[in-house]
Amino acid sequence: MENVTIHRLADVSSDAIIGEGTRVWGWTQVMPGVTIGKGCNIGTHATIDTGVTIGDNCKVQAGARIYHGATVGNGVFIGPNVVLTNDKHPRAVNEDFTLKTNDDWVEEGVTVKDGAAIGACSVICPGVTIGEFATVGAGSVVTRDVPDHATVYGNPARVHDK
């Protein structure tokens, strides 16, 4: 991978594809099957889970968690400590205390379209789509799709005039 800068304290899978000019900072995990485009900046302490796709020129801030099933477009900003979830009914065990297996849950990944921005500490619920150049205010809990160019914030997040 040309001109890719991986910090010595990062943990990037050899089975990840990372575009030219992208930097990955320390204590950040990029798992197998991840694709990250060109010119991105992936901050410290972040988690990019298996199979996640991130476009070009994105900024992912410190402590962000992007879970399996997420598709992130081009020019997206993902703030610090943000979580893109994928499991509407998380649970470690079934009611009889048997461990849940990969067959016991339905994954619903998050989609973030080109140019969108997600403020610090927000959570995007499973299956939600954040529209193009949409803005999610800091500390939001986003339970529904966000239209292109809309501004949402709050818990639960609602559309507001800017």
Which residues would be at the binding site for a copy of itself (CB under 8 A)? 9, 11, 26-27, 29, 39, 44-45, 47, 57-59, 61-63, 65, 67, 74-77, 79-81, 83, 85, 89-93, 95, 97, 99, 114-115, 117, 119-123, 125, 133, 135, 137-141, 153-156
Nearer to a copy of itself, 2 or 99 (CB): 99
Q: How far is the CB of 50 from a copy of itself (least distance, A)?
A: 13
Hunting for tokens 């994954």 — which residue is that? Answer: 107
Q: How far is the CB of 8 from a copy of itself (least distance, A)?
A: 10
Q: How far is the CB of 88 from a copy of itself (least distance, A)?
A: 10
Hunting for tokens 């990969």 — which residue is that? Answer: 102
Dist CA 13 CA 35 (whole Å): 11
Dist CA 84 CA 78 (whole Å): 9
Identity of the residue numbered 61: Q
Q: How far is the CB of 2 from a copy of itself (least distance, A)?
A: 19
Nearer to a copy of itself, 1 or 149 (CB): 149
Is there a contact between 12 and 6 (Cβ–Cβ < 8 Å)?
A: yes
Identity of the residue numbered 36: I
Nearer to a copy of itself, 17 or 133 (CB): 133
Nearer to a copy of itself, 1 or 9 (CB): 9
Burial of 64 (0-12, 13-18, 19+ CB in 10 A): buried
Is there a contact between 138 and 156 (Cβ–Cβ < 8 Å)?
A: no
Nearer to a copy of itself, 17 or 120 (CB): 120
